[in-house]
Amino acid sequence: MASQEYIDDTLEAADAPAPDSEKKPDDPPKLTGPSWKYALKRAAREFSSDGGTDLAAMLTYYTVLSLAPALLAVFSIITLVLANNADTVTSLVDNFVREYVPADYQDLVVDLVNNVTGSATGGVIGLIIGIAVALWSASAYVKAFSRSSNIVYGREEGRGLIKQTGTMLLTTLGLLVGIVLILVSLALNKTLVDGLLGPIAEPLGLSGVLNFLLDTFLPIWAWVKWPVILALVIALIAVLYYFTPNVKPPKFTWVSLGSIVAIIGIALAGVALYIYFAFFGGYSSYGAIGGVMALLLTLWVFNIMLLLGVEIDAEVERARELQADLPAEDNIQLPPRDTAKVEKQKKVQDELEADGRELREAHDNDDDSVDTGADNNDNEDDNDDEGGDDVDKRKRPGSTAHRP
């Protein structure tokens, strides 16, 4: 059952000024020192009271649950884009693993990827169906992140089943496309370009294009690759933060303080994981289990940082509203995207409370009846005792009733 507090806060926020209302400045005022202090202090407190680490553990479970479907969807999307050329995709994955995965784990990762992607259905129609099924399974993480974000904002999900499911599926699709672009950016090299365009460059008269890519573009790409990947990561987090919670932000923001904190934390955790696998994985007394534990711990830290970013953005928004003289100390003044589902939940809650109140009062009346009956019985017993005493007095020898 949904939290009564979240339901009430969501319905109350429905009356908050619209994001573009004149009551809210178009550009929120720059936060003062006390406002920043309040926002960061409250973000730390709220993250703890919301159970941020527990929510991150739940998201880690859904990350693992969605990993195989997401990998299958990514493989199918790449295969579909490359005109159903599965051999080229397999070569791409193999080159990527050989370049970015430590040598001791390369064969294991390649076998794992091949086992997952081996279930991809051939043919365009089969690939599309496979993408749809994998997309539905992979959206479990996005739905879980939506629930966690609603807890951070103190909201209950108000979007109906169709609207929410459609939003989560489209968000998942956008995230998967972004992941594909990141993987292609990481794997893009002379071997890949020559393997894709080499066989068709001369027959199609694209030899000049191939030479340009190999001799001019790729050397430049080696320098701009990481900024492009960083921009893609920023975009993915911005999409996740904007569309998952049931709040209507003032505007879409590509970069926020919360996303910056999340990216820095994720980068540090990723570097730590790479160092572990590269230098300490072979010495672990746990063997392969140690690698799995390290991976799960890293995924947990990833999700902690993502949720901490949401918390920071929420409290910065609260501080901006407070500085703009809006009553946001208890409830952030951002209207929900929808309240249809919340209104139904409120009605159910009220009906359950009414039924419970009726049940309590019925039992209370029964108890009163029992108590009243017991009191009457006690009074009758007392009267009987008094009557018996009178009889005894009349029958007692020497009493005035027996004197001649």
Domain ranges of the chain: 16-335, 341-402
Residue 88 has pLDDT above 90, yes or no: no
Written as six digits, the tokens of 404 are 């001649």
In angstroms, the CA 303 to CA 59 distance is: 7
In angstroms, the CA 274 to CA 294 distance is: 10
The listed range with the strongest mean pLDDT (67-71, 91-95, 201-205) is 67-71
pLDDT band of residue 170 (cuts 50, 70, 90) is very high
Mean pLDDT of 235-264: 91
pLDDT band of residue 203 (cuts 50, 70, 90) is low
Residue 4 has pLDDT above 80, yes or no: no
pTM beyond 0.75, yes or no: yes
In angstroms, the CA 72 to CA 92 distance is: 15
Distances (CA, A) of 75 to 114, 121, 210, 232, 250: 10, 11, 25, 19, 36
In angstroms, the CA 368 to CA 286 distance is: 67
pLDDT at 311: 95
Indicate the range of 29-33, 95-99, 184-188, 230-234 predicted with least confidence: 95-99
pLDDT per residue as tens digits for the range 71-85: 777 776 666 666 555
pLDDT at 277: 78
DSSP string, 106-156: HHHHHHHHHHHHTTPPSSHHHHHHHHHHHHHHHHHHHHHHHHHHHHHHT--
Indicate the range of 50-59, 61-70, 239-248, 300-309 predicted with least confidence: 61-70
